[in-house]
Structure 1
Amino acid sequence: MHHNFTLHWIVDVAFFLGGSVCHQLPQHSLHPGGHQLPLCGRCTGIHFGLWMGLWFLLFLRRRKLGIVPNWKVAGAVALSFALMAADVFTGALGLQPGLNETRLATGLLVGYSLSLLIGPVLAGINTQEATKSTLGWADLGVGFFLTACLWPLIFYAPGWMFYPITILEGLSVIGAYAIVWGVLIAYTLFAARNRPTPWWLWAGGGAAISLTQAVLMGALRIRLGI
């Protein structure tokens, strides 16, 4: 009984956090084992694509990262967003049924593309150099391939993966907010003090603000009934 209560509580928290960034429409969401995930198919793709991309770039391609994207990176990002926009608008206009298969796929592409922009910013914390990216087609291709490998793992996830994915999605909402706020803190303090900002300060500050933001946005959504 206690075990089931704990699992239900975890799911409720994840859905509360997910509600701060996602509409959570059942028909737009994936259902491992018949249970709806906290994020819709598109948001699920964006979040998992983002973290896969950040892992790949920061740990395997860090030396090639630069704040200023080269034309290859810019082109990959533009193409990914164009594909998502096409999927959204053609579905809204009734030109195609709007499938969770394409929602997840375009979400993964955009999530990885966001990592191409966010990764260099994270790698550039406490530096003054505005270096240019040296990522090539091979680098981008490997990253996109790794991200694409997530599609079948998520879309065809068995029932036992519902809870792990749910927990990861709840944590991802906090983590994504934390990156944004942490970067703002790090760069602002570095510019003001002209010396490195300790990692625990910008990471901890970003996490605290992100948790507060997610709670407030989730509570507001409940209050407004949306």
Structure 2
Amino acid sequence: MIHELLHFFGKAICHQIEDRSLLASGKTLSVCARDTGIYLGIFSTFIYLLLVKRNQIITIPSIKVSFFLLLFMVPMMIDGLGSYAHLFESNNERRLLTGLGFGFVLPYFMFPLIFGNALDPRSKPVIKNTFDILIPMFFCCLLGSLVYWNYITYYMIDSLIIFTIIIWFSLWTSLLFTSIRNSFLKWLFSIMSSLAFLSILSLLHSYILP
């Protein structure tokens, strides 16, 4: 039942082609290798920012740093477009690695908008020193390596990925409820809306691509 539930939410955002997905404990993960990398990357940076930057007045990275971060997203774009256009053949190692690079960048732009008072004139860029990049990057690479070499059990890593997907969508959905001052109600509505949205996507995916 848990396995089916995880795959149900995974289907909302992924094609779930088995030979493009990684294994854990002999079972196929609920999302492909590329999406696995993306959401492990998101999780790594988001946890760091939540622990270190939660109560700071921050905004998105400076223009110079932003361009540097965007370079980490280019390999996945090239790999994805080249693969789908049949210009070259990709593999799960490349999909995971480029996905990690793409995903770990995203929270640097999202987190300040949700938690950091990005419009406050007193706000400082979320990245203040190299450790703000290196620590999440190290954690991201470590987590990706443990998953690739199958050192984490299926239910642990698959639950982490699906949990990250739900929280990621809930964070963006929370922007629709900024007028609600009660934090509990705001996040309750955000999570419920996210679950409903992902459920609809999964059902549509099942209907279109059974």
TM-score interval, normalised by the smaller of the two chains: 0.7 to 0.9
CA drift of 1:71 comes to 2.8
2:97 to 102, 105, 111: 105
SS across alignment from 1:149: helix
Deviations 1:45-89 (A, max 9, x none): 111111111111121244676324213431233112111112223
For the Cα contact (< 8 Å) 2:60–2:126, is it kept in 1?
no
After superposition, the Cα gap between the structure-2 partners of 1:164 and 1:68, relative to the gap in structure 1 and judged at 3 Å, is closer
Matches of 1:224 and 1:92 in 2, distance apart? 19
Partner of 1:6: none
Partner of 2:5: 13
How big is the alpha-carbon RMSD for the aligned residues of Structure 1 and Structure 2?
A: 2.2
Amino acid at match of 2:79: D
Per the normalisation by structure 2, the TM-score is: 0.88
CA drift of 1:217 comes to 1.2
After superposition, the Cα gap between the structure-2 partners of 1:77 and 1:183, relative to the gap in structure 1 and judged at 3 Å, is farther
Corresponding residue pairs, total = 208
SS across alignment from 2:69: helix
For the Cα contact (< 8 Å) 2:14–2:35, is it kept in 1?
yes
SS across alignment from 1:38: coil
For the Cα contact (< 8 Å) 2:40–2:144, is it kept in 1?
no
Q: Which has the higher helix share?
A: 1
Matches of 1:83 and 1:114 in 2, distance apart? 15
CA drift of 1:138 comes to 3.3
Q: Does 1:222 align with 2:203?
A: no
Matches of 1:93 and 1:170 in 2, distance apart? 28
SS across alignment from 2:76: helix
After superposition, the Cα gap between the structure-2 partners of 1:32 and 1:97, relative to the gap in structure 1 and judged at 3 Å, is same
Q: Does 1:129 align with 2:120?
A: yes
Where do 5+ consecutive residues of structure 2 fail to align? none
1:148 to 141, 149, 153: 141
Amino acid at match of 2:141: A
Superposition map of 1:59-208 within 5 A: 59-62=51-54, 66-94=58-86, 96-124=88-116, 129-130=120-121, 131-133=123-125, 135=127, 136-158=129-151, 161-186=153-178, 189=179, 197-208=181-192
Per the normalisation by structure 1, the TM-score is: 0.82
Deviations 1:171-223 (A, max 9, x none): 2222121111013322xx17xxxxxx232122111101001111111111222
SS across alignment from 1:80: coil
CA drift of 1:34 comes to 2.6
After superposition, the Cα gap between the structure-2 partners of 1:72 and 1:148, relative to the gap in structure 1 and judged at 3 Å, is farther
Partner of 2:194: 210
